[in-house]
Amino acid sequence: METKKIKILVLGANGQLGQEFRYLASENQVLDFKFFGRDEVDICAEGDVHRIIDENKPNFVINCAAYTAVDKAEAEVDQCFAINRDACATITNVLNGKGIKLVHFSSDYVYNSYTGFPIKEDDNKNPQSVYATSKLEGENIIRASEVPALIIRTSWVVSSFGHNFVKTMKKLGAEREQLNVVNDQYGAPTYARHLAKSVLDIILKVTENPSLEPHFNDTYNYANEGLITWYDLASQVMKIAGLSCKVSPIPTTAYPTPASRPRWSVMSKQKIKHNFGIVIPHWYTALKECMDAMK
């Protein structure tokens, strides 16, 4: 007897994370994917979202769409809030009462508080930029809806797809002899492929075991294991890529940006590991895998 496939609809399909789901879809027989980029659907238009939901009747919607230009957001306030906050209202309005589960991604930027310990999901929220505020308000809209939703806060997302810090460092390292990189912001990268795999693993577990549904309808941290600075990450990129570019550490004060960045983004992943039995690789393993995929 043929197994009934789990139908998954992915929004924001052309970003880093969306492309990782597309990559994983090619090697998965149990899940039936439909992908939509911003050219195909306006997630702020209720009619657009209604149309694709009614046509595809998914079991899960994965929202990878996000406004992530953190510094630009300080000037493009309306655009940032439209995608990161208002679209959450549009999506939940459409999904309400349909029994469709939502997966949504948020950011370590919502915390921005220093405890000296890994940040837990219910620790204080202290958004210090337009981007951070828009992400937290989007989360709050989803939580206030009646749609069962898995919200995952990630940090420092990297991938072989799209634009990100690792790609930028690799490019600049090949062009320059020396680079200055901030060494007083602490966290860990999130390899988008590891995150996407974990999400699909959770979807399969929840589908097979409905008793996990209360765990699904919750908020979680996810990043690769370990603790580093941007300087450490850049140094490792040069080493793995075999580049002779010298990376020098500088304080955040020496590299002013329009938007404030959190100094402490070290997040506890105990909750997601405990509730779903997820195994999260170390950041060095993640970086090696990500750079191998770039080849």
> Residues 67, 109, 131, 222: which is the catalytic one?
131
Which residue in the block uniquely carries the two structure tokens 């406004």?
Answer: 67
Show Cβ contacts of residue 67 under 8 Å, excluding neighbours closer than 6 positions.
73, 76, 79, 80, 82, 83, 84, 131, 134
Strand partners, 151: 104, 219
Q: At what angle do helices 16-25 and 192-208 cross, to 10 degrees?
A: 60
Annotated catalytic residue 131: yes
User: Which run of H or of E encompasses 220?
Assistant: strand 219-222
Q: DSSP letter for 85, please.
A: I
Nearest to 152 by CA among 161, 142, 167: 142
* Helix, strand or coil, per DSSP, at residue 277: coil
**Full DSSP string of 15-27:** SHHHHHHHHHHTT
Residues marked as catalytic: 131
